[in-house]
């Protein structure tokens, strides 16, 4: 028996080749459309055009834009159009920058599921929200305990970004006053601080790079975190505090060298607290501006450095206002300004009467007569400090000059108080030395009255006087007369 041959005849081969060629041409001309598993998505989003297309449906017949087997990975073709996604992957930020298998695009964005299918929402049920910067642990239900759906927060047109309005609206329904103040203080960039894990509830500034000490503990957050800025905050003083005009450009910007967070004043200088108004003899109360109205700085008075000062600096500044006055002022009172001036202008209301009344002969003297070499502080106020004791009563009347003299003139001297009659004995006024032989502060009647102690004691025996009182004659004889002794009382 003859076996039938399985080899096609020549005519059959020709027909098969023609059919195969026709099929290949059809597939080629259709761009592989014949193998399409379904229609591409026609969803588009306003103002979004990639590579000239608004939706996948517009290039449905050009399969090679997404499929080039053996020539290119499909994900590479995706990012050729979706360059924004490629930037996220490269920069490792936003959603796509945090995905592990980010190049498996079709796992989340499958197509060929009809014109109404939205590639971005099709796989949200399997999306792990923890892969992005906001966890849903505290956002399972709202304040009324109703489940929170994706679109409750993602109300924007692209359904992916979150508007701060969504956060504010929900939380304001719970506590409107708080949210108004919160947005006013920190702005509406909620994601800058909140990650859904309530991390800020456990925030401790002491664990940050900037510890809150002293006065920094008493200020509100918004005084430093203006407009809700928290990232990349500067911690050096000059970032928040303007350098005072008083020492601008003189001490540098290392504020901590003299100041601490407890208080700006007093400053610390050479290890101790320093306040110019109390730490020196000169207050700066009236030296904040010069005559032109410009702010005075430390250099204005200390041009050579903080440790250097000369009164010539005072003269140069004040002479610009009235040179003739300053020249005469220095000629009269000298150039040691700080001897009289303390910065609070106390000399403007100076009244010599409050210190040493200028009367009589003192009123016509020049200042230099008492203030030799322009020395003012510590000038003595007693007569003996300026006037030598006259030889005529040297060592006799003592140094309490005002008992006999006044400032109108030295002569004539007049005893201001003398209860005992000076013309005692009807012989005219006696010389002082008659009774005050040794000193003006002592007297004795025995110079004229030749008494003996026994005689005096005998004559005064009936009065029973103490022995020490017998010499104090004027205690009983204030008028200088002799009185009959009374008999001793029984």
pLDDT range class, residue 146, cuts 50, 70, 90 = very high
Percent of the chain whose pLDDT exceeds 90: 8
Ramachandran assignment for 75, one of left (phi > 0), alpha (psi -120 to 50 degrees), beta (any other): alpha
Residue 16 confidence (pLDDT): 62
Q: Are residues 70 and 160 in the same domain?
A: no
CA dist., res. 182 & res. 176, Å (int): 10
pLDDT range class, residue 175, cuts 50, 70, 90 = very high
Average pLDDT rounded to a whole number, residues 175-197: 86
Whether 174 is in a domain gets the answer: yes
CA dist., res. 115 & res. 58, Å (int): 11
Q: How much is the mean pLDDT over the chain? A: 80
Average pLDDT rounded to a whole number, residues 321-344: 88
C-beta neighbour count of 481 within 10 angstroms: 8
Residue 97 confidence (pLDDT): 80
The 10s digit of each residue's pLDDT in 451-489 is 777 777 777 777 777 767 777 888 888 888 877 655 443
Q: Are residues 290 and 306 in the same domain?
A: yes
Q: Are residues 121 and 30 in the same domain?
A: yes
Average pLDDT rounded to a whole number, residues 73-96: 87
pLDDT range class, residue 304, cuts 50, 70, 90 = confident
Domain boundary among 334, 350, 366: 350
Q: 26 or 323: which carries more pLDDT confidence?
A: 323
Whether 318 is in a domain gets the answer: yes
Average pLDDT rounded to a whole number, residues 263-273: 76
Q: Are residues 480 and 454 in the same domain?
A: yes
Q: 162 or 287: which carries more pLDDT confidence?
A: 287
Residue 174 confidence (pLDDT): 92
Residue 126 confidence (pLDDT): 67
The closest alpha carbon to 263, from 279, 285, 289, 241, belongs to 241
Q: Are residues 487 and 470 in the same domain?
A: yes
- Are 261 and 310 in contact by the 8 Å Cβ rule? The answer is no
Residue 456 confidence (pLDDT): 76
CA dist., res. 482 & res. 330, Å (int): 67
302 exposure class (CB count in 10 Å sphere: 0-12, 13-18, 19+): middle
Choice among 45-54, 155-164, 292-301 with the minimum mean pLDDT: 155-164
Q: Are residues 31 and 123 in the same domain?
A: yes
Maximum C-alpha span of the chain: 203
Residue 177 confidence (pLDDT): 92
Whether 29 is in a domain gets the answer: yes
Q: Are residues 114 and 190 in the same domain?
A: no
Average pLDDT rounded to a whole number, residues 265-291: 81
pLDDT range class, residue 1, cuts 50, 70, 90 = very low
Whether 357 is in a domain gets the answer: no
pLDDT range class, residue 312, cuts 50, 70, 90 = very high
Q: 279 or 258: which carries more pLDDT confidence?
A: 258
Average pLDDT rounded to a whole number, residues 72-92: 89
Residue 489 confidence (pLDDT): 39
Q: Are residues 324 and 257 in the same domain?
A: yes
Average pLDDT rounded to a whole number, residues 396-411: 80
Q: Is the pTM of this model over 0.75?
A: no
Average pLDDT rounded to a whole number, residues 439-461: 77
End-to-end CA distance of the chain: 197
C-alpha triplet 394, 399, 404: angle, nearest 5°: 90
Fill in the DSSP letter of residue 189.
Answer: -
Q: Are residues 118 and 162 in the same domain?
A: no
Report the residue count for the chain: 490
Q: Are residues 109 and 140 in the same domain?
A: no
Domain boundary among 304, 326, 350: 350
Fill in the DSSP letter of residue 161.
Answer: S
Helix (H, G, I), strand (E, B) or coil at 358: coil
Whether 362 is in a domain gets the answer: no
Choice among 19-23, 32-36, 238-242, 352-356 with the minimum mean pLDDT: 19-23
Whether 395 is in a domain gets the answer: no
The closest alpha carbon to 36, from 113, 109, 108, belongs to 113
CA dist., res. 271 & res. 328, Å (int): 42
Is the pLDDT confidence value at 122 over 70? no
Cα 289 to chain centroid distance, Å, stands at 21
CA dist., res. 75 & res. 82, Å (int): 10
Q: 314 or 413: which carries more pLDDT confidence?
A: 314
CA dist., res. 311 & res. 213, Å (int): 41
Is the pLDDT confidence value at 23 over 70? no
Whether 86 is in a domain gets the answer: yes
Residue 156 backbone dihedrals phi, psi, to 5 degrees: -75, 165
Q: Are residues 190 and 290 in the same domain?
A: no
Listed in sequence order, the residues at least 6 apart from 266 whose beta carbon sits closer than 8 Å to its beta carbon are: 273, 274, 275, 278, 279
User: What does the buried/exposed string (b/e) look like for 442-480 if buried means 16 or more CB atoms within 10 Å of the residue's CB?
Assistant: ebebeeeeeeeeeebeeeeeeeeeeeeeeeebeeeeeee
Q: Are residues 182 and 265 in the same domain?
A: no
Dihedral in degrees, nearest 10, Cα atoms 434, 436, 437, 442: 160
Average pLDDT rounded to a whole number, residues 402-422: 78
Average pLDDT rounded to a whole number, residues 6-11: 58
The DSSP bridge partners found for residue 289 are 295
Average pLDDT rounded to a whole number, residues 207-213: 85
The DSSP bridge partners found for residue 260 are 263
pLDDT range class, residue 176, cuts 50, 70, 90 = very high
Which H or E element spans position 381? none
Judge if the upstream peptide bond of residue 266 is cis by omega within 30 degrees of 0. yes
CA dist., res. 168 & res. 271, Å (int): 51
Domain count, the chain: 4
Residue 395 confidence (pLDDT): 76
Is the pLDDT confidence value at 357 over 70? yes
Residue 206 confidence (pLDDT): 83
pLDDT range class, residue 27, cuts 50, 70, 90 = low
CA dist., res. 155 & res. 152, Å (int): 6
Residues of the domain holding 28: 17-131
Ramachandran assignment for 250, one of left (phi > 0), alpha (psi -120 to 50 degrees), beta (any other): alpha
- Are 102 and 167 in contact by the 8 Å Cβ rule? The answer is no
3-state helix, strand, coil in the chain (%, to 5): 40, 5, 55
Whether 123 is in a domain gets the answer: yes
Domain boundary among 350, 370, 403: 350
The 10s digit of each residue's pLDDT in 249-264 is 777 778 887 888 887 8
pLDDT range class, residue 8, cuts 50, 70, 90 = low
Is the pLDDT confidence value at 114 over 50? yes
């Amino acid at each position: 028996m003859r076996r039938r041959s399985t080899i096609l005849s020549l005519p059959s081969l020709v027909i098969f080749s023609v059919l195969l060629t026709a099929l290949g041409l059809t597939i080629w001309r259709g761009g592989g459309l014949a193998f399409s598993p379904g229609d591409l998505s026609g969803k588009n989003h306003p103002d979004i055009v990639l590579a000239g297309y608004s939706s996948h449906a517009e290039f449905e017949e050009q399969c090679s834009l997404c499929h080039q087997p053996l020539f290119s990975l499909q994900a590479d073709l995706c990012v050729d159009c979706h360059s924004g996604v490629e930037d996220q992957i490269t920069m490792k930020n936003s959603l796509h920058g945090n995905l592990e298998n980010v190049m498996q695009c079709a796992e989340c964005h499958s197509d060929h599921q009809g014109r109404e299918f939205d590639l971005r929402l099709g796989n949200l049920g399997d999306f792990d929200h923890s892969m992005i910067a906001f966890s849903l642990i505290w956002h399972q239900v709202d304040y009324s305990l109703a489940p929170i759906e994706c679109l409750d927060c993602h109300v924007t047109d692209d359904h992916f970004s979150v508007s701060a309005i969504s956060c504010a609206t929900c939380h304001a329904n719970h506590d409107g006053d708080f949210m108004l103040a919160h947005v006013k203080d920190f702005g509406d960039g909620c994601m800058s601080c909140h990650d859904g894990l309530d991390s800020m509830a456990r925030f401790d500034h002491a664990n940050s790079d900037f510890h809150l000490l002293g006065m920094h503990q008493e200020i509100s957050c918004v005084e430093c975190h203006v407009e809700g800025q928290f990232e990349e905050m500067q911690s050096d003083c000059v970032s928040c505090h303007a350098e005072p005009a008083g020492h601008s450009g003189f001490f540098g910007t290392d504020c901590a060298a003299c100041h601490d967070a407890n208080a700006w004043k007093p400053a610390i200088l050479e290890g101790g607290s320093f306040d110019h108004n109390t730490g020196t003899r000169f207050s700066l109360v009236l030296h904040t501006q010069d005559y032109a109205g410009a702010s005075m700085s430390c250099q204005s008075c200390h041009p050579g450095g903080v440790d250097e000062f000369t009164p010539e600096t005072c003269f140069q500044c004040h002479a610009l206002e009235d040179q003739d006055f300053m020249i005469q002022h220095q000629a009269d009172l000298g150039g040691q300004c700080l001897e009289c001036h303390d910065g609070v202008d106390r000399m403007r209301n100076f009244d010599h009467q409050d210190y040493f009344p200028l009367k009589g002969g003192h009123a016509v003297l020049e200042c230099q007569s008492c203030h030799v070499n322009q020395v003012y502080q510590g000038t003595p106020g007693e007569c003996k400090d300026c006037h030598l004791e006259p030889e005529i009563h040297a060592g006799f009347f003592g140094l309490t000059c005002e008992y006999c003299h006044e400032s109108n003139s030295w002569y004539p001297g007049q005893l201001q108080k003398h209860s005992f009659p000076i013309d005692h004995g009807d012989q005219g006024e006696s010389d002082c030395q008659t009774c005050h032989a040794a000193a003006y502060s002592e007297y004795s009647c025995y110079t004229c009255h030749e008494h003996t102690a026994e005689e005096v004691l005998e004559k005064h025996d009936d009065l029973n006087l103490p022995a020490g009182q017998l010499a104090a004659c004027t205690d009983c004889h204030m008028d200088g007369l002799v009185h009959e002794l009374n008999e001793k009382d029984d």
